[in-house]
Structure 1
Amino acid sequence: MTRAAHSEPNRADLGKDPARVSGMFDQVAARYDVTNTVLSVGNDQLWRIATTRAVAPRPGERILDLAAGTGASSVSLARSGAHVVAADFSPGMIAEGRRRRSGVRNLEFVEADATALPFADDEFDAVTMSFGLRNVKQPKKALAELLRVTKPGGRLVICEFSHPPQPAIRGAYRFYNDRVLPRIARAVSSNTEAYDYLNESIKSWPDQTTLADWIREIGWTQVAYRDLTFGIVALHRAVKPVVEPAEPADRLDS
């Protein structure tokens, strides 16, 4: 029996204890995709399209989709012909994903901790993470792990909630999250307290430029981002540097 079967709601907090966060996602797994679509007013699908285009998957590539949940984003990537590993630290999400996506070719589900990935160095052509980095207790460690498992020259795409730069949009967004979102969550979610945490985690998360600085600090290059939906979400991209082989030393004649 997974933790999702427990009737008492599990609510994470900004301490982001991995067991509590994982348990919380276990409990919302069954209705997670539907709830996200309702709460985002359908924008989650547009964000998924933008993320897939940024990853630019190609046939034969090996791609890691971290914090994949039930695999909605992974399916979009797998349609390209790339082999996609959908990884998540919530057993409930993984189980739901395997149940729903059992017929999808080139897609496998793996339970994984973002700060200690069970993959080899330089294994993936591209790595991506949508709306998951914010839930990791040590996000910089997760970014370092993503760098480790990416091939030199490989691509990183992070899609995450951010902070609208325009004051009017920022105010309207805050009103929606504080007043409207909790009411909708009570109607459609199996764990409304999980979406209280969602609101808190968005407020406390750094802005676009700060996250870009973190990515650059870890060692990624060509770091860039663009705002989606007026900056409610930001799409970050980067590349793992290619280390040039050292020049051979000149031979000295004896």
Structure 2
Amino acid sequence: MEDVSRADMQKDPAEVAGMFDATAKRYDLLNSLLSGGNDKLWRIHMQRAVRPQPGERILDVAAGTGASAAPMAKAGALVTALDISQGMLEEGRKRHADIEFVHGSAEELPFEDDTFDAVTISFGLRNVQHPRAALSEFYRVLKPSGRLVICEFSQPPVNVVRKGYELYLGTMLPGLAKVASSNPEAYRYLVESIRSWPDQQSLSQWIRTAGFTRVAHRNLTMGVVALHRGRKPTEQTAAMRVARHAQAEEQAD
């Protein structure tokens, strides 16, 4: 059987799922260790950006064991947690009875158009084989005026911070993973995927290209992580954008 303990940068879905299956039981504990506890702070910022309301339908993609979905469910939202890893979903179901866990791909969401009030994804878009296709799917399943919130590793804009972070990724993180994890190869993938991920401006442009408006980002932990937001426009707003675009083309002619 092929070793799927570590996915490569082609991000084959089966390999990514296998890698997370192998780390599911200790995944959240290791995340907390390797992030120096900052993962809890990032989830607080995520929760504030989403602003979940009682009765809202929220989709958390690449939800893992439900660590990011749980606070939204506690706030009264009806949360669906989707992940490609069956191992992660099994762990999540054991921990969170108030969350619906669904197996599926971010690139082909098993939901109808205009279903959710908000779509969130924390540290998962980077693992999707075709992230721009996933962004289009997020747009499709959101209701008009629905909210998109993405929390993802990013590129620190200050040079000295960027160099210090690169040193951590290249030396300290692999050392910690080797001591603490039964699958340190998975954390080699983590380092490679962070290094190859686009910066804040590039991801913002991807979000705009998918059709979202009011796109903005906020750096967390000096840009090690960035919180991206967008809105699916209402039909009226979308029609106005099309009309403005057509008018601009006429004037250019």
**TM value normalised by structure 2:** 0.92
Task: Output the amino acid matched with 1:34.
Answer: L
How far apart in 1 are the matches of 2:116 and 2:182?
35
How far apart in 1 are the matches of 2:180 and 2:143?
41
- Runs of 4+, deviation exceeding 4 Å: 6-9
The percentage of counterpart residues that share the same residue type is 58
2:129 aligned with 1:137, yes or no? yes
SS where residue 79 of structure 2 aligns? strand
Following superposition, the deviation at residue 190 of structure 1 comes to 2.3
Tell me which residue corresponds to 1:116: 108
Which of 160, 163, 166 is equivalent to 2:158?
166
Q: Which runs of 5+ in 2 are unaligned?
A: 240-253
SS where residue 21 of structure 1 aligns? helix
Would the aligned equivalents of 2:30 and 2:181 in 1 still touch at CA under 8 Å?
yes
Q: CA RMSD in A?
A: 1.4
* Matching of residues 39-78 of structure 1 within 5 Å: 39-78=34-73
Would the aligned equivalents of 1:66 and 1:88 in 2 still touch at CA under 8 Å?
yes
SS where residue 72 of structure 1 aligns? coil
Would the aligned equivalents of 2:121 and 2:151 in 1 still touch at CA under 8 Å?
yes
Following superposition, the deviation at residue 189 of structure 1 comes to 1.5
Task: Output the amino acid matched with 1:150.
Answer: L
2:168 aligned with 1:176, yes or no? yes
SS where residue 184 of structure 1 aligns? helix
Following superposition, the deviation at residue 150 of structure 1 comes to 0.2
How far apart in 2 are the matches of 1:22 and 1:112?
11
Which of 19, 22, 32 is equivalent to 1:24?
19
How far apart in 2 are the matches of 1:240 and 1:88?
23
For this pair of structures, how many residues does the alignment match? Answer: 238
Would the aligned equivalents of 1:22 and 1:89 in 2 still touch at CA under 8 Å?
yes
How far apart in 1 are the matches of 2:104 and 2:12?
15
Which of 191, 205, 212 is equivalent to 2:204?
212
2:98 aligned with 1:98, yes or no? no
Following superposition, the deviation at residue 112 of structure 1 comes to 1.1
SS where residue 119 of structure 1 aligns? coil
Following superposition, the deviation at residue 7 of structure 1 comes to 11
**TM value normalised by structure 1:** 0.91
